Structure 1
Amino acid sequence: MVRRGVRLARSKGGRAYSTREETRSSLGVAEDSFVVTYAGTMGRLQGLGHIMDAAIDLRDVKEVVIHVRGSGELEESLQAEVERYKLSNVEFFDHCPLEQAAAHMAASDALLVPLADDPIFQKFIPSKLFDSMASGRPVLLSVDGEAREMPIRG
């Protein structure tokens, strides 16, 4: 039994996923934007501070936009950090059904898979990595250990 995994092909109402262009348009993405997306739980184990650090470093690069999709215990504090630093390059999106999240990921230019820096995660591979790789988009990892080696081995 595989409890976590990726569904490579799904459709809704007989129609395949929205096209990349349709999804980007529905998200309000400008044509010249480079969208980097994190989709998932906003909790302590995810190491989402890395995303906020990157957003601060990239705040003057107008073409780069960071999308954060999901919910969790750190959602409000992340949103407060965006407000405190006046980051116009970070947008939050609500948790949504798998099909919608997969379309959002596929419409992104790169995906983020962060994980808290803790020795316990050295042998841990987050399931989000598989979903991200299945999207066909480049994956930016902020992890150590086994998960970091996996994409390199290809």
Structure 2
Amino acid sequence: MRGSTTMAEPDENIVDIYTDGACSGNPGPGGWGAILRWRGTEREMCGGDPDTTNNRMELMAAIMALESLKRSVSARLHTDSTYVKDGITKWIVNWKKKGWKTANRKPVKNVDLWQRLDEAVATHDVEWHWVKGHAGHPENERADELARRGISDMLNGIEP
């Protein structure tokens, strides 16, 4: 697992994943969205939760995208969440060593999702990229639209 903050060039052997989470109120109804691109094909995914937080939806976007992969792959995951990127590339090692406690000895928030993301990442070679949110990055903007659709579909009873 590697961390990076730059945008990468397309590579047909790598799955590019773009994720975003959204929340209407925090906490409140939330949604997540993901785009997966590989060898010229693209898949979009989204979902929602009636009572959640923005950070949980950011985590769910990455989890659902990685869990949807059918085999072990090399992937570049692009997120506008420093919480997700820093959590998985910097903080998680110490959280695990300390029994899922922070440096202040408090329980890690969203531990259920961090453990799930840790498991999803373990089967892949994931390179993490941070992108500035709401700054005109086309795939990030589309992932945001999907996350918002996840909220609206969930509130309207539409299954993903």
Query: Shorter chain as normaliser: what TM range?
Result: 0.3 to 0.5
**What is the TM-score of this pair, normalised by structure 2?**
0.35
Q: Which has the higher strand share?
A: 2
